[in-house]
Amino acid sequence: METSANRRRPAALGLRAHSGWAAMVAVAGGSAVLRRRIEMTRGSDSRAGQPYHAAAAMKLPQAEAFLKRAEKIAVEMAAGVVKDAVATLTFEGYRVAGAAVLLGSGKPLPELARILAAHPLIHTAEGVFFREVLKSACGSCGLAVTGIKEREVLEQCAAALRIPAVDLQARLSAMGKTLGPPWTQDEKLSAAAALVLTSRDDYVADCPLPSNTR
């Protein structure tokens, strides 16, 4: 027997990270239905938004402990926003099972000591840090998390929708009219990532209501 949860409209989240915050867009039926800004730092301490820069001035044991604390706080803050967004979407008749997080190049990082000794690696590590925070936050809310390289997301989205790249750009721009501003590159790329998920037949067919988001 088909349940009310099964009749809900499938939706997915797309997320793009920055230092200390992220853009999140929910997409359903090819339309943007919700937008959120996710803060992942507390207070005005600039160290929180650049944790590896701050850790570089510490001894290694202190740096490790500092980064763990920063990660815990960031995941808790992000998970709160994701959980609230999923609850809002559920109330509005959607069912969210997945989130797509935009990723960097994917090159593996060395051990912490080497990262903190090289400024370019510090910047790379901070990007990885906040992307991993988003993945952990979405996972803690019962969502299946898909990572999509940012440089590939438009190509994947155009292929998934079976439309030319130029038509995709126009479609992404038009999607912002429903929610209004801001609708920047952050929101467009987040929406493209979510569109990749919702265009998959297996996602639409297997999209249960997460039990821990009620």
Whole-structure pTM value: 0.90
SS3 12: strand
Q: Tally the residues of the chain.
A: 214
Interacting residues of 51 by C-beta distance below 8 A, sequence separation 6+: 66, 67, 70, 126, 129
Question: Are the CB atoms for 13 and 24 separated by under 8 Å?
Answer: yes
Q: What is the structure's pLDDT at 45?
A: 64
- Residue 61: the pLDDT is 97
Beta strands per DSSP E along the chain:
9-17, 21-28, 31-39, 94-103, 144-149
CB 133 within 8 A of CB 24: no
For domain 9-213, the CATH superfamily is Ribonuclease H-like superfamily/Ribonuclease H (3.30.420.10)
The pLDDT score that the predictor gives to residue 206 is 53
User: What residues of the chain score a pLDDT lower than 70?
Assistant: 1-6, 44-46, 204-214
Amino acid present at 209:
L
Q: Domain locations in the chain?
A: 9-213
Q: What is the pLDDT of residue 210?
A: 44
